[in-house]
């Protein structure tokens, strides 16, 4: 049981790390070349959909993540929408995903007119369980011309979209093997996991396609932004085409060969992203330090800290603790938020939202259990730490 003393001590630790006043859950830091790169954009007049920073940002993300190709988009939801189209998902298809995720995952599936099926998560990764995935597929699907079809609905099971919750890598290699076996396209929602690894391999490099988000609360931000990554040159070409209004290159004519999307990232946002990428390794190091301080605190106070699974390196985007039950969670949330310390529960399960209440699921025991108990703790990179580390390095 987390008592008031422990909560007060935790708040004291938060203040020691982040300082006084209101402490947000996750705020961006702009302590590098952000201002300069934005000024350069304005001075050069390249603020919008054309400009060198977009290409540079794409190259930086590809190099950092170890993907062959990266295509910038206006936000992570748009990236996921386009990636799902490119993975071949069509209206009426079903997509295996998590009920324990941010709404964007299911929104993107819905934009296509496809329907999510909710697979339970693992207690340690907070993400899709390969055991639950196989169990559901074996009980609910049959093969038809090398693809999986849902026995009950007759719909094609076109894709699987696991999500690396809070930057903790799911058992992605195991999930990839199952998708391969059942003829299901794997698209990783890696929105939260830039800088997270399984062994040496970056999350987002296991699927046919993966997507990142650079929203204001993510590990790095472009204000708003997203990225599609893939190793397939054809998909990469299609991704760029589809997200830039499907325009045929021509010196002056406007010709478009399909209904495309205006999902391109403006150069201004990409400039911010380039500056943020220069600091990402330093930010990840600081985030790991903060996680270590929470880990020690939790061990000393008998709290359950969500830790890295063996063989993985999370980016520590959002730290989390698992409390004993929903009442304890609610008491903790209201006490900390009343004391200017922003804490948050995990998202309401997708299966409990009106739009998705009719979707199939496997029972979701662990998802439900976790959603009653998880709380996120403040996890920003403190500016003071940032200066200390970057000065030491330069």
Q: Does 266 bind ligand PLP (CB under 6 A)?
A: no
Taking CB under 6 A as the criterion, the residue among 226, 266, 273, 314 binding ligand PLP is: 226
**Measured at CB, which residue is nearest to ligand PLP?**
76
Q: Does 169 bind ligand PLP (CB under 6 A)?
A: no
User: What is the spatial distance between Cα 147 and Cα 145, in angstroms, rounded to a whole number?
Assistant: 6
Taking CB under 6 A as the criterion, the residue among 193, 213, 376, 379 binding ligand PLP is: 213
218 is catalytic: yes
Taking CB under 6 A as the criterion, the residue among 65, 193, 215, 351 binding ligand PLP is: 215
Structure-block tokens of residue 113? 């007119």
Give 102 or 182: the residue with its C-beta nearer to ligand PLP: 102
Q: Looking at 73-81, 117-125, 251-259, 286-294, which segment touches ligand PLP (CB under 6 A)?
A: 73-81
Give the CA distances from residue 307 to residues 60, 126, 244, in Å, rounded to whole numbers and listed in that order. 28, 11, 40
Q: Does 349 bind ligand PLP (CB under 6 A)?
A: no
Q: Does 188 bind ligand PLP (CB under 6 A)?
A: no
Q: Looking at 74-82, 111-119, 276-284, 292-300, which segment touches ligand PLP (CB under 6 A)?
A: 74-82
> 344 has which bridge partners?
376
User: What is the spatial distance between Cα 157 and Cα 163, in angstroms, rounded to a whole number?
Assistant: 18
Q: Does 360 bind ligand PLP (CB under 6 A)?
A: no
Q: Of 192, 206, 204, which is closest to residue 105 (Cα–Cα)?
A: 192
Instruction: Exactly one of 218, 237, 240, 287 is catalytic; name it.
Output: 218
Give 182 or 206: the residue with its C-beta nearer to ligand PLP: 206
Q: Does 76 bind ligand PLP (CB under 6 A)?
A: yes
Please state, as a whole number, how many other Cβ atoms lie within 10 Å of the Cβ of residue 53.
Answer: 28
DSSP state of 234: H
Q: Does 276 bind ligand PLP (CB under 6 A)?
A: no
Taking CB under 6 A as the criterion, the residue among 65, 67, 97, 101 binding ligand PLP is: 101
User: What is the spatial distance between Cα 297 and Cα 116, in angstroms, rounded to a whole number?
Assistant: 38
User: What is the spatial distance between Cα 6 and Cα 13, in angstroms, rounded to a whole number?
Assistant: 10
User: What is the spatial distance between Cα 171 and Cα 161, in angstroms, rounded to a whole number?
Assistant: 12
Q: Of 249, 248, 255, 203, which is closest to residue 227 (Cα–Cα)?
A: 203
User: What is the spatial distance between Cα 96 and Cα 160, in angstroms, rounded to a whole number?
Assistant: 5
Cβ contacts of 47 within 8 Å, gap of 6 or more: 41, 266, 267, 268
Q: Looking at 69-77, 132-140, 268-276, 328-336, which segment touches ligand PLP (CB under 6 A)?
A: 69-77
Q: Does 102 bind ligand PLP (CB under 6 A)?
A: yes
Q: Which residues are catalytic?
A: 218
Positions that interact with ligand PLP (CB under 6 A): 75-77, 80, 101-102, 104-105, 163, 189, 191-192, 213, 215, 226
């Amino acid at each position: 049981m987390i008592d008031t003393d422990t909560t007060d001590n935790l708040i004291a630790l938060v203040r020691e790390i982040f300082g006084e006043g209101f402490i947000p859950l996750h705020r961006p830091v702009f302590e590098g070349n952000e201002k300069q790169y934005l000024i350069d954009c304005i001075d050069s007049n390249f603020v919008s959909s054309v400009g060198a920073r977009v290409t540079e940002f794409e190259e930086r993300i590809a190099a950092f993540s170890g993907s062959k190709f990266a295509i910038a988009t206006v936000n992570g939801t748009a990236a996921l929408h386009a990636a799902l189209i490119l993975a071949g998902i069509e209206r009426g298809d079903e997509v295996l995903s998590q009920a324990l995720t941010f709404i964007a995952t299911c929104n993107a599936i819905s934009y296509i007119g496809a329907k999510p099926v909710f697979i339970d998560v693992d207690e340690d990764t907070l993400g899709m369980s390969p055991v639950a995935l196989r169990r559901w597929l074996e009980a609910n699907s049959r093969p038809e011309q090398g693809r999986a079809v849902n026995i009950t609905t007759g719909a094609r099971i076109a894709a699987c979209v696991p999500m690396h919750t809070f930057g903790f890598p799911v058992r992605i290699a195991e999930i990839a093997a199952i998708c391969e076996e059942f003829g299901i396209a794997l698209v990783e929602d890696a929105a939260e996991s830039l800088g997270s690894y399984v062994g040496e391999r970056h999350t987002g490099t296991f699927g046919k396609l993966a997507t990142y988000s650079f929203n204001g609360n993510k590990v790095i931000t472009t204000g708003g932004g997203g990225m599609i990554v893939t190793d397939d040159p054809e998909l990469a070409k299609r991704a760029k085409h589809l997200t830039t209004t499907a325009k045929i290159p021509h010196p002056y004519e406007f010709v478009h060969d399909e209904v495309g999307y205006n999902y391109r990232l403006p150069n201004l946002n990409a400039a911010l992203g380039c500056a943020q990428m220069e600091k990402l390794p330093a930010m990840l190091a600081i985030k790991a330090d903060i996680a270590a301080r929470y880990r020690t605190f939790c061990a000393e106070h008998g709290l359950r800290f969500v830790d890295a699974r063996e063989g993985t390196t999370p980016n520590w985007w959002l730290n989390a603790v698992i409390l004993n039950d929903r009442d304890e969670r609610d008491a903790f949330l209201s006490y900390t938020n009343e004391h200017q310390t922003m804490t948050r529960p995990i998202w309401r399960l997708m299966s409990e939202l009106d739009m998705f209440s009719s979707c199939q699921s496997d029972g979701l025991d662990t998802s439900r259990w976790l959603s009653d108990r998880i709380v996120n703790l403040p996890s920003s990179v403190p500016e003071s730490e940032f200066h200390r580390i970057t000065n030491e390095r330069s």
